[in-house]
Chains A and B, each alone.
Chain A
C-alpha cells in the first residue's frame, strides 16, 4: 500500500489532532487577549504599586520558555496540592503566558496614543472602562495588528509543546501515526502543512485589519520581524 494511502486511511487521527490544536489555539488566543486587555487597563489606571507588581509579573513571564512554564503548572504544582489534567494545564499555560506578551504589546502601543483623546472622552461623560473599550482598545488593536499577529502565530506554535505534557494535539497525532505505520515524511509534512495553512489564515486576517487601520488613518509601519 502506498504511504499516502496509509495516511489517508488514518486521516481521522490527524484531523482529530488538528481539531484539538485549533480548539487549544482559538480559545487560548481569545482568552489571552481578553485577559491582557484587563491587565493593561489595570497597569494604566490602577494604583502605582499595583501596576508595578503586574508589570513585574508580565516581564518575568516574558523571560520564560513556554515549556518550562507548562512544566511548572503540570508537573510542579501537584507538589503544592494543585492538580490539573493535561488539557486544563495546557489552557491555563497558553492563556496566561500569551496574555503577558499581548499585554506588553498593548501597553507599549498605548504609550504612543495622544492624551487629548482621553480628556475629550471624559468631557463627553465616558466612564474609564467605557472609554477604554470604545476608544482606546480598538485603536491599540489596529495600531499593533502586525505585532499582535506575530504573537498569535507564536501562540499557535506553542500548542505543539503541549504534546510533551501528553495533550493529544496535531503534533502528537502525527507522531503517533508515524510511529505506528512508520510514515514519518507523510505524517509530519501534513502536520507542518496544516500549521502553515493556519498561520497563513492568521496573516490574511492581520492584513485585513491593516487595511481597516489604513482607512481610519491609523497606518503602521509593516515591520513584521519575529515575535
Chain B
C-alpha cells in the first residue's frame, strides 16, 4: 500500500468515526428519554417503547439503513445518504441505550427520592440534581459497551454507498488489485478503536463499583 492508499483509508476511518460519534451523541440522550418515558408508566406510550426496543434489537442494520434510505423519500422526507446513515445508527443505538438507562433508573435507591421530596424538591430538580449525576455513573460502562457494538455494526452503512472504513478497502483494491493489505490495516484500526473503548469501559466500571459502596 502506498501513501495515496493510506490517505484514502484514513478518510474512510474518519467517515466511520464522525458518523458513529454523531449517532452516539444523539442516541444517548434519546435512550434516556425513552427510558424515562417507559418508567413514567403512561399507558400506550410504554407499549410503543417496548415494541420499539424489541424491533431495534431484532432488525439488522443493513436492512434498516436500506429501508430508511429508500423509504424516506416516499414519505416526502428527502434524506441524503449521510443523514440516512446517522438516523439509522442513532435509532438503533437509542433502543439499546434505553435498556442500559432503564436498568440504572430501576436500581436507583428510592429512599433518596423520598428524602429529596421531603426536603421540598420538585420532580425535575430531583432528577437533575440527585438522580442524573448518579445514574450517569452507573450507566456509563454500559453505554460505552454499546458504543463498541455500534462501531462493529457501522459497516452496514456502506450498503447505501457511504465509503466508510470497511467499504474503502474495496475502493483501494480496485486500484491496487491487492485487497489483503487495506483489509488488514482497516481491521487493525477497528481493533485499536474498539480495544480502547473496551479498556475505557473497564475503568468506568471500576469507578462505578467504587462509588456504589
Residues of A that sit less than 8 Å from B by CB: 60, 63-69, 71-72, 75-80, 153, 156-161, 163-164, 170-171, 174-175, 178, 184-185, 188-189, 191-192, 195-196, 198-200, 223-227
Contact = CB atoms under 8 A, between A and B. Distances in A.
19 contacts: A64-B152, A64-B187, A64-B190, A65-B155, A68-B169, A68-B190, A75-B170, A75-B173, A76-B183, A78-B179, A79-B179, A156-B60, A158-B60, A185-B71, A188-B71, A195-B60, A225-B100, A225-B103, A226-B57
Contacts of B184: 72, 76
Contacts of A79: 178-180
Given A65-B153, A65-B190, A72 B166 contact: no
A72 B191 CA distance: 14
B156 interface: yes
Interface in B132-164: 142, 145-146, 149, 151-156, 158-159
A188 B63 CA distance: 7
Contacts of B190: 63-65, 68
Nearest to A199: B58
Determine chain A's interface SS by DSSP, over half rule: helix
Contact of A174 (B63, B103, B156): B63
Contacts of A161: 60, 62, 155-156
Interface residues of B, number: 48
Contacts of A163: 62, 159
Interface of B: 54-55, 57-64, 66-67, 70-71, 74, 96, 99-100, 103, 142, 145-146, 149, 151-156, 158-159, 165-166, 169-170, 173, 178-180, 183-184, 186-187, 190-191, 194-195, 198
B66 A175 contact: yes
A225 B96 contact: yes
A71 B173 CA distance: 12
A153 B142 CA distance: 19
B183 A72 contact: yes
Contacts of B151: 65
Contacts of A60: 191
Contacts of A195: 58-60, 63
A178 B70 contact: yes
